Structure 1
Amino acid sequence: MWCVTFTRGITPEDVRARYGADARAAQFLTRQRAGRLNDSSLPEGSVLRAEALGAWSFCFEDHGVMGAMPGPLSALSQGTETFSVLRGGDGTNGFAHWRDGQCTERFEPGFTHTKPKPPHPWWDAVQERLDATGEEYPGLVPLLEAVAHHTGAVLDTGTLSGPLLTLRLEDSSRTQDPPPPPHPGLPRPPGRTLGRPALPGTPPPPAIGRTPNAPITPHTHGAETEK
């Protein structure tokens, strides 16, 4: 399992900061040494390895998925564009293109049932390469070729194996996901409070709530766990 993002026109330091990391904590580590930071005894997190490739900067994660999450992708793409490629450990792969904080296209490469709504230029670009191979599902190669053709940034195994600025970012510190937009079918909340408007000089009604000095009962809220 791995995940990689490519962002145009920002530095590797900016990349780490937009993930939510403190860039000053990074150190040059090879891929082998960076793997030792994936300690199961530590809090949930991911090891980020970032570097520049021409006009683009990439961030690579072994055994991590932060680069496929809306929070980091929204931050990375502010004022620019970002590509995200995920090779899932369960065989599920993913692609997303973000621009100016918004996802413009997302799909699972190689599966027609994930075809996004038009326009879908990246689906088309990948499909052209899939058709050219004549294979039913040749993995992520056509997708990576399409991204490399657009960015001119070719990320090879030699670069990933060598020393890159590396740090470990806990999941609790990463850039959090933006709130979901309101559902278009749901009514908007009213713009005013219910009831008759108070006449000038009318004392306000008594507050409805707990009695003075009454204990407050805490409420327990559930939390979703991201994978």
Structure 2
Amino acid sequence: MTSTNPWSWADDQLVSFNLVRDRSLVDLLRFYDADPAGARTVMRKESDAAFGLPDEGTVLRVGRAGAWSFCFENWLPVGFDPGLLERLSAGTDTIHYFRNPKGGRFVNHLRDGRDLERFELGMPPAPSEEAPLGLHRAIEQRAGEMEKGLDYPEHRALWEVLSELVGVRLDNALVNGPLLTVLRPSGPLRYDTQGPAAHGNGPVSSPPVGGPSRRGLGRSLGPLIPWKPEVPDGR
């Protein structure tokens, strides 16, 4: 059955998705401690047929979205590991989405190893020193503009906002389409051999898409996300 929700891929029981500005796909796989030489470009249905739900390890599917790269996992993920997120964001921006089996949907924006904005969809954001992308504000605004009766409007709003940020629709067609795919064996992440020390802390050069980019903003969201200082909510 065809879903009418273009973002249904992100509502699987367990999803980890990292969106990283100006990283190559090869470097992204290396940060995950996976072997790029073993990766193949396949559709998601082919990946599911080949790997299923592996007893050990996690299936990594990586692709490009404008000047950003992303990695999708939906079984035994490692993408939420704090050390990995810190290293992915070294010298650049990383946006992390995690959907846990209990239904919680969590978003982080990290820059240069720092956690700048962190929240659960539908809940107030955690206190932060700055929120340069203003994701929570933009999502709440977009969700409020959606038609009444939609199931979980914040979830749909998140992917609309991120798609505008990178200039590419992060929808079912993209995530379920042909992506570079590899099985990462189980085991801890070996930061000393596969992290920034081996591959550089700074971002990998990538041609701008849709005009010049601004640090941390990629494709500009314009007035959709005006920057204002965060006011701690006292939690």
TM class by shorter-chain length? Answer: 0.5 to 0.7
Aligned pair 1:56/2:56, yes or no?
no
- Which residue matches 2:121? 109
Change (3 A) 1:162 1:132: closer
Please name the residue that 1:37 is paired with.
Answer: 51
Secondary structure of 1:66's aligned partner:
coil
1:86 paired residue among 84, 98, 104: 98
Match of 1:25 in 2: 38
* C-alpha deviation, 1:66, in angstroms: 2.3
**8 Å Cα contact 1:27-1:167 kept in structure 2:** yes
Letter aligned with residue 116 of structure 1: A
| Counterpart position of 2:107 | 95
Q: Distance in 2 between matches of 1:75 and 1:146?
A: 24
Match of 1:167 in 2: 182
* Aligned position for 2:28: 15
Q: Is the 8 A contact 1:85 1:94 kept in 2?
A: yes
Match of 2:163 in 1: 148
Quote the Cα distance in structure 2 between the aligned partners of 1:84 and 1:175: 20
1:65 is matched by which residue type in structure 2? P
Aligned positions, number: 172
Deviation by residue 1:149-178 (Cα, 9 ceiling, x = unmatched)? 2222322222222221111113414356xx
Return the alpha-carbon distance in structure 1 between the equivalents of residues 96 and 161 of structure 2.
12
Question: Structure 2 vs 1, CA of residues 72 and 153 (structure 1 numbering), >3 Å: closer, same or farther?
Answer: farther
- Larger radius of gyration, structure 1 or 2? 1
- Secondary structure of 1:67 counterpart: coil
Which of the residues 129, 137, 145 maps onto 1:124? 137
List runs of 5+ in structure 1 lacking aligned partners.
177-227
1:37 aligned partner, one-letter code:
F
Question: Match of 1:11, as an amino acid?
Answer: S
RMSD: 2.2
Residue from 8, 18, 21 that aligns with 1:5: 18
Instruction: Give me the whole-angstrom Cα distance separating, in 2, the residues matched to 1:100 and 1:51.
Output: 22
Query: Does 2:83 match 1:71?
Result: yes
| TM-score of the two chains, using structure 2 as the length reference | 0.65
- Higher relative contact order at CA 8 Å, sep ≥6: structure 1 or structure 2? 2
CA distance in 2, matches of 1:145, 1:169: 30
| Cα offsets for 1:11-63 (capped at 9, x unmatched) | 111111111212112112221121242444x32x2110111122111111123
Change (3 A) 1:175 1:132: farther
Deviates more, 1:121-130 or 1:72-81: 121-130
In the TM superposition, residue 139 of structure 1 has moved relative to its aligned partner by 4.5
1:67 Cα deviation from its structure 2 partner: 2.3
TM-score normalised by L of structure 1: 0.68
Name the residue aligned to 1:190: none
